Structure 1
């Protein structure tokens, strides 16, 4: 096929949350914007974290989300929150005859199914991505050894000859694929979770929003953070850091335990909790902020902040090592003292904030889903590393030998 041809692309993911801003929602949408015919095959349920302790089962069948065809299949069984065993996935692939299969994740049973299809249809381009790292999947040394280095690596050896490329969605997850799962180095490319610039332009870059943007209306530094809050995610340190500063801190999201609820109840007057926000509400809060802060862990809200060109304060680690290039500040301890020192400086330096905002445009250019989707298609024609991989994987900040790169928060 030539680069002017439109591909038939199928994404296979274990769970799908309709209307969310995750990679499995947005990458297919941006590929479709490039003119390709895109379909997502998934299970009959949403992720566990979207429905509490139990999955939200929405049933099988076909529907559209953001103009993308979504096919939900019934399942035989599942390992709670990790993967499902699909019914009839192979038959659906035979019926649809994709040019390109994008399998989300490396260790679910469906990787064997797509490799079986690739074996019988060698012209199909098959990629898999990796979202696992030492923070979210292998904190326990025994589990890391038994499940990843032994069991999963053994299973993947039977599949690797049929996989064209493996995409790590952060630098740390590139190295995890190689070091913990045994994926050959020359098969791994960085294809990051991207920034959703189209949604920002559609909903935020309008006169009514810009007219009502209240940045610095009270001459305070407006700081925003959000997510699913529980003990250990840095909320206590952040709230302590802003006490008596010329800062307005807005927190949104969900409080998952009594610990964080108690912290919010005792917060000072310059802290406001706004509760759970839908996607557009989230983007509006980020866009109206001077700076967005996450003191401990990576979250996909970081990419949303990049989409709104909002400066960042992030804890340095392998999953955030590609996010800040003069568009913010890294934390190296995450203590309230460190956060406070940075916010105090920023609250007294409008010029510094403006420089960070200007540099945020450059980060958006590198991490936009528009670029990421384009590169995902370019790999179909040429498997050599593309711009995003070359820029970040050769950057000293993304070197895995750096202190704290693999630090477990």
Structure 2
């Protein structure tokens, strides 16, 4: 089957462990012909940079096409309109059976529907990563961009859409309230991860823990991403420092934003159990997640959490509705800095509670988060 995945605000970057990469890789592994169509932006050392148009085949056989935004009043406005040149012609050349468009906020949804009107047998899936925590957060964004421009496009294309996938539980309300997407068209479709063979996972775990000079009794915590105030990295460190267990180690992996550097680096330097590793590519991050015992994410949501669970780690997360809906009691929930401190203290006194959560979350990962399971849902 031929599947075209379109992400015009996804910042597709080769080698990452985001949904764009992992879903495409799994579909390709399952034997389908895959084309990714992306805008001309990517991550470089954790920073979004503009890149050039290209048309190439990746090492795993996936066809990657990058196309530029149409220039509409400069880069900022172009990046909100999300109109590109030549998408219809590319679709005609690819002849897809399924089109999966990441996001509902794009002018090019009109182009995709134009293609479906001519090729009525194809299926169109959209997914939404948006909620009121990360989108429509000010007046202009909510009432001009979302409730006028995007809503106008979405209402025109909905009759031709087969399914709208919501990657977070909060996305359902966002789509209902801002665009009027009907409930019968929406389906929960969480971000997932890759579950490695146990022998491979264990090999990666042993290698990284040896590199970090950890003993079997050491408990390794990992926190990752673009670390800013909303990530609450400083609170994690402060809570961690209050629990003096020599068994604990904390790794910070990602980029440190300017608004938190001056506060966080002195804390790191004051506790030799804490290390900041900087930016790591997808494969490197996966290795550290395999070595991790507890993934800590009390701030903004990140797809790395699902990858951590798929690598066998337990997780401590903010109790977002989407987390509680998806993960139920298979993870720890931490809302305040005291919650973090109490959890770390409980684990130091009774490591068995950590092992119990690892077993629960690993079971859930196999059943729900494995991209082999998620990819198969496109054909049901």
The TM-score, its normalising length taken from structure 2, stands at 0.88
Task: After TM superposition, list the pairs within 5 Å mapping 1:124-143 onto structure 2.
Answer: 124-141=122-139, 143=141
- What displacement does 1:11 show? 0.9
Matched, 1:316 2:316: no
Which residue pairs with 2:190 in the alignment? 192
Q: 1:51 to 1:338 in 2, by over 3 A?
A: closer
Question: What's the CA shift string for 1:43-80, capped at 9, x where partnerless?
Answer: 3332699544xx32133222315431112224423546
Task: Give the alignment partner of residue 26 of structure 2, picking from 6, 9, 30.
Answer: 30
Which residue pairs with 1:348 in the alignment? 349
Matched, 1:10 2:13: no
SS of equivalent residue, structure 1 residue 193: coil
SS of equivalent residue, structure 1 residue 180: helix
SS of equivalent residue, structure 2 residue 231: coil
Which residue pairs with 1:303 in the alignment? 306
Contact in 1 for aligned 2:88/2:111 (Cα 8 Å): yes
Q: 1:132 to 1:207 in 2, by over 3 A?
A: closer
Question: What's the CA shift string for 1:183-229, capped at 9, x where partnerless?
Answer: 111000111111122xx449942547536645962744321111111
* Residues in 1 aligned to 2:316 and 2:139: alpha-carbon distance in whole angstroms: 30
Which residue pairs with 2:170 in the alignment? 172
The structure with more helix, counted as a fraction of residues: 2
* Residues in 2 aligned to 1:367 and 1:62: alpha-carbon distance in whole angstroms: 30
SS of equivalent residue, structure 2 residue 164: strand
Q: Which moved more, 1:17-26 or 1:258-267?
A: 258-267
* Residues in 1 aligned to 2:226 and 2:103: alpha-carbon distance in whole angstroms: 23
- Gaps spanning 5+ residues in structure 1: where? 1-6, 379-409
Task: After TM superposition, list the pairs within 5 Å mapping 1:316-335 onto structure 2.
Answer: 316-331=319-334, 333=335, 335=336
Which residue pairs with 2:235 in the alignment? 237
Question: What's the CA shift string for 1:158-190, capped at 9, x where partnerless?
Answer: 111111111111111233222222111100011
- What displacement does 1:369 show? 0.6
* Residues in 1 aligned to 2:85 and 2:64: alpha-carbon distance in whole angstroms: 16
Task: After TM superposition, list the pairs within 5 Å mapping 1:98-247 onto structure 2.
Answer: 98-141=96-139, 143-197=141-195, 200-201=196-197, 204-205=200-201, 207=203, 209-210=205-206, 213=209, 217=215, 219-245=217-243, 246=245, 247=248
SS of equivalent residue, structure 2 residue 42: coil
Question: What's the CA shift string for 1:110-131, capped at 9, x where partnerless?
Answer: 1111011111211111111111
Matched, 1:367 2:361: no
RMSD of Structure 2 on Structure 1 (CA): 2.4
The TM-score, its normalising length taken from structure 1, stands at 0.82
* Residues in 2 aligned to 1:367 and 1:63: alpha-carbon distance in whole angstroms: 28
- Gaps spanning 5+ residues in structure 2: where? none
Count of residue correspondences: 366
Contact in 2 for aligned 1:63/1:70 (Cα 8 Å): yes
Q: 1:175 to 1:328 in 2, by over 3 A?
A: same
Q: Which moved more, 1:74-83 or 1:259-268?
A: 74-83
* Residues in 2 aligned to 1:32 and 1:113: alpha-carbon distance in whole angstroms: 25
Contact in 1 for aligned 2:46/2:255 (Cα 8 Å): no
Which residue pairs with 1:19 in the alignment? 15
* Residues in 1 aligned to 2:357 and 2:67: alpha-carbon distance in whole angstroms: 45
Which residue pairs with 2:36 in the alignment? 40
Matched, 1:294 2:290: no
Q: 1:126 to 1:111 in 2, by over 3 A?
A: same
Q: 1:323 to 1:164 in 2, by over 3 A?
A: closer
SS of equivalent residue, structure 1 residue 19: coil
- What displacement does 1:253 show? 1.0
Task: Give the alignment partner of residue 70 of structure 2, picking from 73, 76, 79.
Answer: 76
